[in-house]
A and B are shown apart, each in its own frame.
Chain A
Amino acid sequence: MPVLARFIEGAGIPTVTVTMMPDLAAAVLAPRIVGVEFPFGHPFGMPGDRAMQRAVLETGLTVLSGAARFGTRVDVDIEWPVPRAAAYKSWQPEEASPIVAMMLASMKGDGTG
């Protein structure tokens, strides 16, 4: 996704990337970054929690409109209100994604070489 941010920014449209993996966004040089420590699939927060969603959106808009320089990063100081183990489990698909299924099969070995 940062590749899209960089392309669009390079075309003259300012961007901010709101992301669960801000270290990664910084490593690949996204221009403006807002970090959230939320489970995947939830960049703006909990379903139905308008206050949490608004806090993230407002941070995104503040960084988008107010950052003075390339590489600006602000992390949102909100703790996910669900214990990690349950949140970790709940974001994942019921069926392993094709690439994960392939990796697991290759680790186990399927006997065909």
Chain B
Amino acid sequence: MDSYRFLPRSFIPLYSQTEPAPGDDGPVWAPFEPRLAEARIALLTSAGLYLDGDQPPFDGEREKAEPTWGDPTHRVLPNPVDPRALGMMHLHLNHEDPLADPEIALPLGGLAALVDEGRVGSVAPNHVSVMGYQQAGLEVWRRETAPAIVELLRDQGTDGLILAPV
């Protein structure tokens, strides 16, 4: 398993020597309590997906003007969502595949199929999208975005979350 197989070689040192952030460097653990067949599961993608027409896209214009900045806001995606209703704003990725088949980043259909089979209890009514390119330090994510996501997940009784960075 090569964690950097598809990364430009010049970027590898940027990632391979990463260390935990100061103050964020100990174990953190929440036990998964229910049986999976009774659990409510939510998804979180960093693909920069949003509901085209209903939600503003992530701010790529500011990133173009300030290349070290990335939009730290989040979007709440309701389940089910029409895949054709999704837009994507992520300047570091080709959009073609995630828009052609959003299941590769946000597998709501796959999760629903497992619910139908009785393997998973339920799909959470709402899921979360962020845009994964973020400013060093992640201050807004820590101060605003993460607490807002926790509140959403708690309010809808989420038993477990699958995060899928892109």
A48 touches B101 (CB 8 A): yes
Contact code string B113-125 (vs A, CB < 8 Å = 1, else 0): 1100001100000
B150 touches A8 (CB 8 A): yes
Tally B residues with Cβ within 8 Å of A: 76
Question: Considering the chains assembled together, what is the distance between the CA atoms of A87 and B97 in angstroms?
Answer: 12
B160 touches A16 (CB 8 A): yes
A6 touches B24 (CB 8 A): yes
Interface class of chain A by DSSP: mixed
B27 touches A70 (CB 8 A): yes
Question: Considering the chains assembled together, what is the distance between the CA atoms of A50 and B27 in angstroms?
Answer: 34
Nearest CB in chain B: distance from A42 CB, A: 5
Question: Considering the chains assembled together, what is the distance between the CA atoms of A54 and B114 in angstroms?
Answer: 9
B162 touches A64 (CB 8 A): yes
List, in ascending order, chain B residues with CB within 8 A of A11's CB: 30, 150, 154
B110 touches A44 (CB 8 A): yes
Partner of B28, one of A9, A41, A57, A102: A9
A98 touches B67 (CB 8 A): yes
Any A CB within 8 A of the CB of B51? no
B104 touches A19 (CB 8 A): no
Question: Considering the chains assembled together, what is the distance between the CA atoms of A9 and B145 in angstroms?
Answer: 14
Question: Considering the chains assembled together, what is the distance between the CA atoms of A3 and B1 in angstroms?
Answer: 23
Contact code string B85-119 (vs A, CB < 8 Å = 1, else 0): 00000011111111011011101001101100001
B18 touches A61 (CB 8 A): no
Considering only residues 38-70 of chain A, those with a C-beta below 8 Å from chain B are 38-48, 50, 53-54, 57-58, 60-61, 64-67, 69-70
Nearest CB in chain B: distance from A72 CB, A: 10
A10 touches B28 (CB 8 A): yes
Considering only residues 17-49 of chain A, those with a C-beta below 8 Å from chain B are 17-24, 27-29, 31, 35, 37-48
Any B CB within 8 A of the CB of A81? no
Chain B residues within CB distance 8 Å of chain A: 1-7, 15-16, 18-21, 24-32, 35-36, 39, 41, 44, 46-47, 63-64, 66-68, 91-98, 100-101, 103-105, 107, 110-111, 113-114, 119-120, 130, 132-133, 138, 141-142, 145-147, 149-150, 153-154, 158-166
The 5 closest A-B pairs by CB, nearest first: A98-B67, A47-B101, A1-B165, A23-B3, A7-B146
